[in-house]
Amino acid sequence: MRKTLLLAGVACILSANAAHALDFKTFNPTIGLDYAYSDADFKKESKDLNNKFSSGIISLGTKIGDYSSVEAYWQMSADKKTNTDTAKYKARFSSYGVDAYGHLPLGCEQKVELLGSLGLGIYDISIKKDGEKSTTDRVGYRLGLGAQYNFTEHFSGRIMGRYNYIGNGQLHSFNEVTAGIRYTF
């Protein structure tokens, strides 16, 4: 009987702690705007393309507690033109997906956070060669490292380096550097 009461007491304490951990005050919605500079690794007949892209990223997410967050994003690059001796190319890509972040706050004030991210994205790659367009959709994997500086409770700035593996016939992967701001509600 004592063991049953002891186990029931422990279960009550653990459930109270779990309910407190899932308190909705720990979910903080976030909106972000980023600039991305991407260096693409084109393959096969697209190898001659200009591989430097600029793009914008809009993200919506939520911070879950002090050490993690989840963000959904949409990214769109500008058109990139390349003229070779044999053809005229125009390329661009767009992407949307989700990233999970781990946050490591530093210092007493915890204004600086180291970030690590892992995510999935759906990449739409569009390449025009002499007016003939080919479009490819592909699921890709994303891995990133970066830092975030929290100016206030609501505003922060972020810099990330990210590796994106796409692995289709035209585009193998690309590396990108992003810089942007976040607003947390």
From residue 27, give the alpha-carbon distance in Å to each of 59, 101, 108, 157. Answer: 16, 14, 22, 19
Which CATH number belongs to the domain containing residue 57 in this structure? 2.40.160.20
Q: Report the pLDDT value the prediction gives residue 169, as an integer from 0 to 100.
A: 72
> CB neighbours of 83 closer than 8 A, spacing ≥ 6?
89
HEC string of 108-136 equals: CCCCEEEEEEEEEEEEEEEEEECCEEEEE
Structural domains of the chain, count: 1
CA dist 59 and 69 (Å) reads: 12
Closest to 55 measured CA to CA, from 81, 30, 76: 76
C-alpha 54/C-alpha 39 separation (Å) is 9
**Residue 2 maps to a domain:** no
Domain that holds residue 165: 26-184
Residue 5 domain-assigned? Answer: no
74 domain residue, yes or no: yes
Whether residue 37 is contained in a domain is answered as yes
Residue 120, pLDDT score: 96
The answer to whether residues 179 and 33 touch, using CB atoms and an 8 Å cutoff, is no
Size of the chain, expressed as the number of residues it contains:
185
Contact 89, 106 (CB under 8 A): no
Return the pLDDT at 87.
Answer: 81
How far, in Å, CA of 165 to CA of 126, rounded?
A: 17
For the chain, residues with pLDDT lower than 70 are 1-26, 45-46
Does residue 4 lie in a domain region?
Answer: no
Q: Reduced to 3 states, what is the DSSP secondary structure of residue 36?
A: strand
The pLDDT value given to residue 65: 84
Please say whether the dihedral angle defined by the alpha carbons of residues 94, 96, 100 and 101, taken in this order, is positive or negative. positive
Residue 13, in any domain of the structure: no
Which run of H or E residues covers position 171?
strand 171-184
